[in-house]
Amino acid sequence: MTQPTEALARLQGAEFKAVGANQTAKAIGKGRAQIVFVAQDADRRVIEGVLTAARERGLEVIEVASTRELGRACRIAVGAAAAAILLSP
């Protein structure tokens, strides 16, 4: 299992990523996600679809402490409930 700090550094430097629960769920559904991130403080209703899809695909899910921390790792000015590192197109 990957350490959250190490994984967040990979997310921050990733060329291809999905940010937000909807984009992340779509990327998982299309088979493009490598590693999935979810914020522990996110509303469970928002991230439940992401978690279910990730489990079904056997993807590694890394829990991050907060939406704010995940948003920062994605280089956006707001929080993010979920994100994923994507395979190159």
CATH code at position 65: 3.30.1330.30
Q: Which of 62, 88, 75, 64 is nearest to 19 (CA)?
A: 75
Statement: residue 64 has pLDDT above 90: yes
User: What is the domain count for the chain?
Assistant: 1
Q: Angle, to 10 degrees, between the axis of helix 44-57 and the axis of helix 21-29?
A: 20
Q: What is the pLDDT of residues 3-43, one digit of tens each?
A: 778 888 999 999 999 999 999 999 999 999 999 999 999 99
Give the range of the structural domain holding residue 40, as residue numbers without chain letter. 4-86
